[in-house]
Structure 1
Amino acid sequence: MSAPVPVGGLIQVALAVEDIEASLDRWCALFDVERPEVVTLEPNPDETYRGQPAGYRLRLAVITVPGSQVVIELNEPDANPSTFREFLTEHGEGVHHLGFAVGDARDAVVEGLEMAGFAKRVEAYYPGGSWTVLDTEAALGVNLNIKPHA
């Protein structure tokens, strides 16, 4: 691959869940960590899902892993089309993607993955950053989220 995904850039394990409150209770009990805030994200006008404008709400909570750059992210989508709703419909709850911070190599890494045959599922921009989910699920068992930074 022309621009490999740097394994040292692993920053996120993201799960798709149907009930974020119940899932968060289980994860926090498992790790004996304080319960993080659940936030609701409104549709992002700068986000596409499978090449079309995305229009979904997402409830999100992030569990920080002490002593690590990795976070566990729980994602509960509404019923509208989204990568998370697609995953839940096809698989039920589980690991939707692994997130990697790749710095300035973001465009090259995304292009390399596309050249390897992996289509973009999501491309989104937000103040100060972006995220691109590539459809690597069939080949790798999980999707990849490529970000310039955490």
Structure 2
Amino acid sequence: MTDASDDGFLGRMIEVAIITSDHRKAIEGLSKLGIGPWRIYTFSPDNVANQTYRGKPAEFTLKVCFADAEDGSPVWEVIEPVSGPTIFQEFIDAHGDGIHHVAYDCNDIPFKERIAEFERRGFEFAQGGSWEGKCHFAFFETESKTTTCLETIAFDADWTYPEPDAWYPPRGKG
């Protein structure tokens, strides 16, 4: 990689995320704007391996909600911190609820290389894990230099979303 501003390291933006203290309120409001349906998950030590916080192993639990865009636009994500140390609770404590980060695919370079490249560029690895062992995520301390947090997400080739804990709006039986 180079230091050139046009090197395209980040690749394609794939997600916009809101951090909130009430995921239900956030997804209900976004649904009124036509964003949804929402898949609601609990991320915990039971389904997220390699949980880290500021360079150390750390257990955390989050409510995480996803809404795909029909037109190929970035996925919407809503995160509510539940327990354990997280950059998400830090954000709420400092700023209140709001847009926290955007995620990039980094041109699908291998995940460990992405982490190394962010760090080489001066951005510390702040939080991460591997959901269901096939969806790997890493957040970086980019806010002081870019005004927002950046994330990269890598999916294994055989990735599919697991069945959610719940849907919003609820899916009818039939």
TM-score, normalised with respect to structure 2: 0.75
Q: What SS is found at the alignment partner of 1:139?
A: helix
The superposition leaves residues 44-96 of structure 1 with CA deviations (integer Å, 9 ceiling, x where unpaired) of 34110101222221111111111114111000011431111111111111122
Q: 1:125, CA displacement in angstroms?
A: 2.3
Distance 2:27 2:136 in 1: 25
Structure 2 residue aligned with 1:136, among 122, 138, 142?
142
| Amino acid corresponding to residue 114 of structure 2 in structure 1 | V
Q: What SS is found at the alignment partner of 2:38?
A: coil
Distance 2:126 2:44 in 1: 19
Q: What SS is found at the alignment partner of 2:65?
A: strand
Distance 2:38 2:114 in 1: 31
Give the direction of change, closer, same or farther, for the CA distance of 1:6–1:56 in structure 2 (3 Å limit).
Answer: closer
Is residue 2:67 matched to residue 1:90? no
Distance 2:8 2:140 in 1: 14
Aligned length: 148
The superposition leaves residues 15-68 of structure 1 with CA deviations (integer Å, 9 ceiling, x where unpaired) of 11110111111111012x444232222233411010122222111111111111
Is residue 2:61 matched to residue 1:57? yes
The superposition leaves residues 72-123 of structure 1 with CA deviations (integer Å, 9 ceiling, x where unpaired) of 1000011431111111111111122111113124333322221222111013
Q: What SS is found at the alignment partner of 1:78?
A: strand
Give the direction of change, closer, same or farther, for the CA distance of 1:129–1:62 in structure 2 (3 Å limit).
Answer: closer
1:81 alignment counterpart: 85
Q: What SS is found at the alignment partner of 2:33?
A: helix
Structure 1 spans left out of the alignment, 5+ residues: none
In terms of fraction of residues, the more helix-rich structure is: 1
1:112 alignment counterpart: 117
Pair member with larger Rg:
2
1:17 alignment counterpart: 20
Is the 1:25–1:35 Cα contact (8 Å) retained in structure 2?
A: no
Is the 2:51–2:60 Cα contact (8 Å) retained in structure 1?
A: no
Is the 1:119–1:134 Cα contact (8 Å) retained in structure 2?
A: yes
